[in-house]
């Protein structure tokens, strides 16, 4: 809502043209009020020479639903109902890929023609949505009511809440029909729980988060945290003190961070242990695929996406196990289709830069 010295104007009615608003002569804007969104992000595509905004989008999700505002593409800022409806159904960056816009409604000027603006707007909305999700939906009151630790994922089934990935996987295997994913033999069940324990007691956090952050994700953060003051403000927003200091160390030291070195050695030791186990049985917990393999697969896959496949390539049993998992039809649904292409590209590019550092560390 726009507040003036005379009245209140709905935000949708405020802009009336490229250089005009609903304000009357002698009317002064005094305040702006709006509901606090649960998640919000803005992205603009500037002209490479002038910096003029060719197309920008602000995406927000809050108590009144999803809002998508577009600037630079039309004669004035406008909301797009089709984008709002799509994102209300699935608030995820990839949703924007299916959006299409009629170029006839768009501005054409010396900076860009209307067809170009219509073509790039879905990508701009996608980036804005990605930024909205990067701001921490897990810290909203709604999510904290489900998991006060502010950790994803969370499963709600029949009104009951289940947290932690490995526990959720075991719950799904037991609560729903399907092939058994827990070994029948008590010793192999113990082995399954051993591999899950490794994930829950260090491999996931801090080791996987540190490896991913140092190699790739810190560069995504640094696009926006481009001053020491912004970095410090971001670090203050990190709730967990240990995570905050690991991020600080990553920003300051990069590959020289002790937590990074520890993570590399932890993964190397894990892969060696997996190689030994898979030399004795085709799967981590016996002769049949089990939750041990499904729990571990995303972590070996993360090495793959980070360009660190050499860590397991020379371990033939691990490599063959990973190839068998990738060949399963469910891999495409659970892993490949869920990927974000931009994140994959970032991890691949930065992983190529990181591999010499990782290799030298292991040889030292």
Angle between helices 291-305 and 341-363 (to 10 degrees): 90
What pLDDT was estimated at residue 136?
Answer: 66
| Statement: the pTM of the whole predicted model exceeds 0.75 | no
Topology of the domain covering 35-133: Enolase-like; domain 1 (3.30.390)
Quote the CA–CA distance of 123 and 97 in Å, as a whole number: 7
- pLDDT at res. 341: 78
Beta-bridged to residue 43, according to DSSP, are 57
Residues of the chain with CATH 3.30.390.50: 35-133
Give the C-alpha separation, 345 to 347, whole Å.
5
pLDDT averaged over 10-residue windows placed end to end, the chain, 364 residues: 94 88 93 87 89 92 90 92 92 88 90 92 92 73 83 90 94 93 96 96 95 95 89 88 95 97 97 98 97 97 96 96 96 86 89 96 92
Residue 135: predicted pLDDT? 62
First to last CA, the chain: 62
CA distance to 104, 120, 220, per residue, from 347 (Å): 38, 24, 10
**Which residues share a beta bridge with 69?**
58, 79
Does domain 181-363 fall under CATH 1.20.1050.10? My reply is yes
Q: How far apart are the C-alpha atoms of 107 and 75, rounded to whole Å?
A: 6
Domain with CATH 1.20.1050.10 in the chain: 181-363
Q: What is the DSSP letter of 283?
A: B
CB neighbourhood size of 56 (10 A): 21
- Rounded Cα–Cα distance for residues 246 and 213 (Å): 9
Lookup: tokens for 103: 């170029």
Task: Look at residue 137 in the predicted model and tell me its pLDDT.
Answer: 66
> What's residue 273's pLDDT?
98
């Amino acid at each position: 809502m726009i507040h003036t010295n005379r009245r209140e104007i709905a935000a949708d009615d405020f802009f009336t043209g490229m250089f005009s608003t609903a304000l009357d002569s002698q009317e002064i804007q005094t305040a702006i009020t709006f509901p606090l969104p649960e998640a919000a992000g803005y992205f603009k595509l500037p002209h490479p020479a002038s910096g003029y905004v060719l197309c920008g989008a602000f995406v927000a999700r809050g108590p009144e639903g999803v809002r998508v505002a577009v600037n630079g593409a039309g004669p004035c800022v406008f909301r797009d109902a089709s984008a709002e409806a799509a994102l209300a159904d699935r608030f995820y960056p990839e949703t924007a890929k299916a959006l299409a816009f009629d170029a006839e409604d768009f501005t054409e000027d010396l900076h860009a023609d209307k067809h170009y603006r219509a073509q790039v707007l879905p990508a701009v909305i996608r980036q804005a949505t990605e930024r909205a999700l990067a701001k921490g939906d897990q810290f909203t009151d709604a999510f904290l009511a489900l998991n006060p630790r502010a950790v994803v994922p969370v499963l709600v089934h029949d009104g009951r809440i289940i947290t932690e990935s490995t526990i959720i996987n075991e719950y799904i295997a037991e609560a729903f029909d399907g092939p058994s994913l827990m070994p029948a033999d008590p010793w192999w069940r113990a082995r399954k729980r051993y591999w899950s324990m490794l994930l829950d007691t260090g491999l996931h956090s801090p080791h996987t988060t540190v490896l991913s952050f140092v190699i790739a994700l810190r560069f995504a953060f640094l696009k926006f945290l481009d001053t020491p003051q912004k970095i410090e403000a971001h670090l203050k927003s990190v709730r967990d003190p240990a995570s905050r200091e690991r991020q600080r160390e990553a920003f300051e030291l990069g590959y020289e961070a002790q937590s990074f070195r520890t993570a590399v050695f932890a993964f190397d030791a894990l892969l060696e242990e997996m190689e030994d186990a898979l030399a004795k049985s085709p799967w981590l917990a016996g002769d049949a695929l089990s939750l041990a393999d499904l729990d571990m697969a995303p972590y070996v896959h993360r090495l793959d996406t980070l360009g660190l496949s050499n860590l397991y390539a020379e371990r033939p049993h691990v490599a063959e196990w990973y190839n068998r998992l990738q060949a399963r039809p469910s891999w495409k649904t659970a892993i490949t289709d869920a990927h974000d292409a931009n994140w994959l590209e970032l991890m691949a590019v930065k992983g190529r830069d990181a591999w010499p550092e990782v290799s030298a560390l292991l040889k030292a």
